[in-house]
Structure 1
Amino acid sequence: MRVKDKLRLLYEGDTPEAHHFRYALLVFDVTTILFIVATSFLPRSPAFEWMDVIIGLIVLADFSARLLISRTRWRDLLRPTTLADVVAIGSFLAPAVGEQFGFLRILRTLRLLRTYQLTARLRADFPFFRRYEDLIIASVNLAVFVFIMTGFVYETQRWTNTKIGNYIDALYFTIAALTTTGFGDITLTGTLGHLISVIIMICGVTLFLRLVQVLLRPDKVRFPCPACGLQRHDWDAVHCKACGTTLNIPDEGAI
């Protein structure tokens, strides 16, 4: 089997080997995020820089494999998540030059969770994910945004703003701006600071309201109607509300 065919099978196939491989990528992404968060509170050391290089090489290999098997290579190169990968790879492989952009690595996790193959596998393997998929995705979207904007606030303000001394200060400001609380004890000055504040308020409130919408929306199960294709129904629905077709929605039994 050619290398490209083997990679395509791993990234897009429906075999146990492919499922295990994509789960391994997910675990790697989550571990990398935890590493970035943990090391942001510690002083830089040669050991951390070597770990950055190792992670960067793994990310580069994954990035190259995805690009190799892509059927729309040039279109994929222009996607924001692809550009974020490029910045993250550069920051991992040259930490002395661009370590401040390493937090963009979290964007890969958002993209990986949204790939059809992995999402479908999570639905099949985990009843909890199947039932609360929308809530999990909305929470991930909000968490990614908060983490990214916290990184931007910290890296752009720590040298000029005496009130931003660490990631906790930046996170505190991001949450306060996102919820439009506006205590006023920490503010961002200058054109760039004002622009970051506007982005946090507009985009953050949108993502937060989406999460609230999912929380308050009546609990539904994802089950396509065989007649009209309606995707969501009540957990105890017997007939489709759109066309009246009898449904046979599977469940995990009485709780």
Structure 2
Amino acid sequence: MMPEPQQSRPPRNWREKLHELIYESEKPAGKAFDIALLAAILISIFVVMLDSVDSLHARYGHIFFILEWTFTILFSIEYVLRLICIRQPIRYVVSPLGIIDLLAIIPSYLSIFFAGAQSLLVLRALRLLRIFRIFRLVRFLSEMQFLGSAIMNSMRKISIFILFVLTSVVILGSIIYLVEDESSGFTSIPQSIYWSIVTITTVGYGDVAPVTPLGKLIASFIMLLGYGILAVPTGIVTTEMHLARKKEHTNKACPNCGREGHDRDARFCKYCGSRL
């Protein structure tokens, strides 16, 4: 009995090839693309920094201008290609990496209408986070995801804590306004609340200070309260880090939504449900 001939895989279309080039950093072509992208990001940030120096801007401003727009156009084309080669581009647009990629090109276009907006191009430095997935630094990437998960799980408790702190500074600021005289700098309740915030955070600008014994007593209480407050968020996050469960993730991108961070044994995307 003759063995059945194996069915050959249908040839990939251009979108699949483009997806492999742009998203799959584990493949040689994708890794080369991402390394070239990182080099372009570094050079563009360096150009923005040099352009902020007055002496260099006066001599080479036109060159910096051309380079900035060259990189902006290249990054714009790359962003459009990322949208084209996935089936649900809106999921990539609203993902963290998609938002960062968009922020990397918006400042140049804003500079057409608002002078100086090109200084925000340093936001491109956020795109350097791709170095974790490009060079397969999975350990660092998983640690970053683990820390991010612990912080997100702590947000509700921290929000309640911040509400308590805000209530405290409003009450203490109002009390110090009643105790102190305007000559001490406490000219209004908002000004007194500002002093209370500065004091409770242990910053201590020194531009406003109580002079009465009762005012100094209240200030001492706020200072001691500030030291105790500093430890609370740390304890909340530390507890969540102990409760969080580490999972090993891969940097494989979903062909449908372009998002990463899937478990190594996952067969479907945990964000959109498409097959990986």
Normalising by structure 1, we get a TM-score of: 0.43
Normalising by structure 2, we get a TM-score of: 0.40
Q: Which has the higher contact order (CA 8 A, sep 6+)?
A: 2
CA radius of gyration, larger in: 2
